[in-house]
């Protein structure tokens, strides 16, 4: 078992098979100098049906062997299910199980599971401690270094957030073998964003790691976390790169047609400078990422963006743009007016709808 340098205060461990062997042991270590006579330690494991179906029995065994009582709380995976209704259901089950500050909440799944679990852990008055066991590349890249959990509302993304404080994160690459094909790009897209902002060499590393068995990704993830830390030090707002257009794409389809990673990949492709787009397209081809928005017209997405600005939900937000000065290019944070922001987004949208702008021409758009 190795440690990851995630630049956060929590313990972060990695190794093939560690999740089934060391999570329960880690919990007991926290009570090494305490008398637990007559006390029962409980762990609520929050997961989705697919992950729990594949792995729960093997994962639970370590707790049974150490006399830690467990309960499984299942939630629905996916951005469309990250909402307060699911958090409320989790809190109800935590309450029914009598969870308290002597107990543990364990998020066991992908990004949506972790957001829901972290939100519930933050709001639950029992104050149980929180452990994360990510099972997708996206959640492995994000969970260790994220300070907040986010929920969506309807077609609007990240409308609510709470601070996250993990006691420990266990990154076990064995889980990546069962990630559904549709969700694999989620991890790729987030890492591409880090690469564009901080460490372009991560793109080559990402291609290499995508071709391997991912049995040992410690060096790769440490490089990902280092890139993320460098961006945080410079300005965390830079991490919004591409979010305006990706959120519009996800929201238009109510998080159904395009995964979070696919939408972000499309937005990043539209946002990079023209001279870099050919090289990025070759990388996307190797990673099976989309470069063209399909199934919706240019006008439909553009009208959705205009409506968002008209309602004020997107107004007065900074925008990350690529600018060149004296022959050198860099990503900068601008504060455009609504009209200027829409012009920028219109130009980006054209880059990914050139072959599909005629689709649904009778959608009713102006």
Instruction: Tell me yes or no: is domain 238-353 CATH 1.20.1090.10.
Output: yes
Tell which residue, 212, 219, 121, has the closest CA to residue 171: 219
Q: How far out from the chain centre does Cα 148 lie?
A: 11
Query: In terms of C-beta density within 10 A (0-12 exposed, 13-18 middle, 19 or more buried), how is residue 162 classed?
Result: middle
Q: Does domain 2-179 have CATH number 3.40.50.1970?
A: yes
Q: What is the largest CA-CA distance in the chain?
A: 71
**Alpha-carbon distances of 151 from 72, 109, 136, 159, 267, rounded to whole Å:** 21, 16, 18, 6, 21
Q: How far is the C-alpha of 366 from the C-alpha of 356, rounded, in Å?
A: 17
What angle separates helix 218-234 from helix 184-197, to the nearest 10 degrees?
A: 50
319, 238 contact by CB (below 8 A): no
Sequence-distant (6+) residues with CB within 8 A of 312 are none
What is the pLDDT, as a whole number, of residue 34?
Answer: 77
> What residues does 156 pair with on adjacent strands?
153
Q: Do domains 2-179 and 238-353 have the same CATH topology?
A: no
pLDDT for 308 equals 87
Burial class (CB in 10 A: 0-12, 13-18, 19+), 211: exposed
pTM here is 0.87
CA distance 22 to 173: 14
Domain ranges of the chain: 2-179, 238-353
List of the chain residues with pLDDT < 50: 356-366
Q: How far is CA 51 from the centre of its chain?
A: 16
Q: What is the pLDDT of residue 365?
A: 43
Please give, one letter per residue, the 3-state secondary structure of the chain.
Answer: CEECCCCCCCEEEECCCCHHHHHHHHHHHCCCCCCCCCCCCEEEEEEEHHHHHHHHHHHHHHHHHCCCEEEEEEECCCHHHCCHHHHHHHHHHHHHCCCCCCCEEEEEECHHHHHHHHHHHHHCCCCCEEEEEECCHHHHHHHCCCCEEEEEECCEEEEEEEECCCCEEEECHHHHHHCCHHHHHHHHHHHHHHHHHCCCCHHHHHHHHHCCCCCCCHHHHHHHHHHHHHHHHHCHHHHHCCHHHHHHHHHHCCCCCCCHHHHHHHHHHHHCCHHHHHHHHHHHHHHCCCCCCCCCCHHHHHHHHHHHHHHCCCCCCCEEEEEEECCEEEEEEECCCHHHHHHHHHHHHHHHHCCCCCCCCCCCCC
pLDDT at residue 355, rounded to an integer: 53
Q: Which of 157, 95, 91 is nearest to 123 (CA)?
A: 91
In b/e form, how buried is each residue of 10-43, taking b as 16+ CB within 10 angstroms?
Answer: bebbbbeebbbbbbbebbeeeeeeeeeeeeebbb
């Amino acid at each position: 078992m190795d440690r990851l340098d995630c630049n956060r205060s929590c313990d972060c461990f990695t190794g093939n098979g560690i999740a089934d062997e060391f999570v329960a042991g880690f919990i007991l270590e926290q009570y090494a100098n305490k008398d637990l006579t007559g006390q029962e330690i409980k762990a609520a494991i929050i997961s989705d049906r697919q992950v729990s179906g594949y792995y729960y029995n093997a994962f639970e065994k370590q707790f049974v062997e150490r006399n830690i009582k467990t309960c499984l709380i299942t939630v629905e995976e996916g951005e469309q299910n990250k909402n307060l209704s699911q958090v409320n259901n989790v809190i109800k089950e935590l309450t029914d199980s009598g969870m308290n500050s002597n107990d543990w909440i364990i998020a066991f799944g992908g990004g949506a599971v972790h957001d829901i679990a972290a939100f519930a852990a933050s709001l639950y008055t029992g104050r149980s401690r929180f452990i994360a066991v990510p099972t997708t590349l996206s959640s492995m890249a994000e969970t260790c270094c994220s300070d907040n959990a986010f929920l969506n509302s309807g077609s609007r993304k990240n409308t609510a957030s709470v601070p996250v404080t993990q006691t420990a994160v266990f990154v076990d690459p064995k889980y990546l073998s069962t990630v559904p094909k549709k969700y694999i790009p989620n991890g790729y897209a987030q890492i591409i964003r880090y690469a564009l902002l901080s460490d372009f060499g991560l793109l080559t590393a990402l291609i290499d790691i995508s071709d391997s068995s991912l049995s040992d990704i410690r060096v790769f993830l440490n490089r990902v976390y280092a890139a993320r830390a460098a961006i945080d030090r410079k300005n965390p707002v830079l991490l919004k790169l591409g979010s305006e257009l990706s959120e519009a794409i996800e929201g238009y389809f109510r998080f159904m047609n395009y995964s979070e990673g696919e939408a972000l990949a499309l937005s990043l492709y539209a946002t990079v400078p023209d001279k870099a787009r050919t090289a990025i397209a070759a990388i996307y081809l190797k990673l099976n990422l989309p470069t063209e928005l399909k199934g919706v017209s240019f006008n439909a997405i553009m009208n959705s963006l205009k409506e968002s600005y008209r309602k004020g939900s997107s107004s007065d937000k900074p925008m990350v743009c690529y600018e060149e000065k004296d022959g050198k290019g860099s990503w900068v944070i601008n504060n455009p007016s609504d009209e200027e922001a829409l012009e920028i987004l219109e130009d980006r949208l054209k880059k990914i709808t050139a072959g599909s702008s005629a689709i649904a021409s009778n959608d009713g758009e102006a």
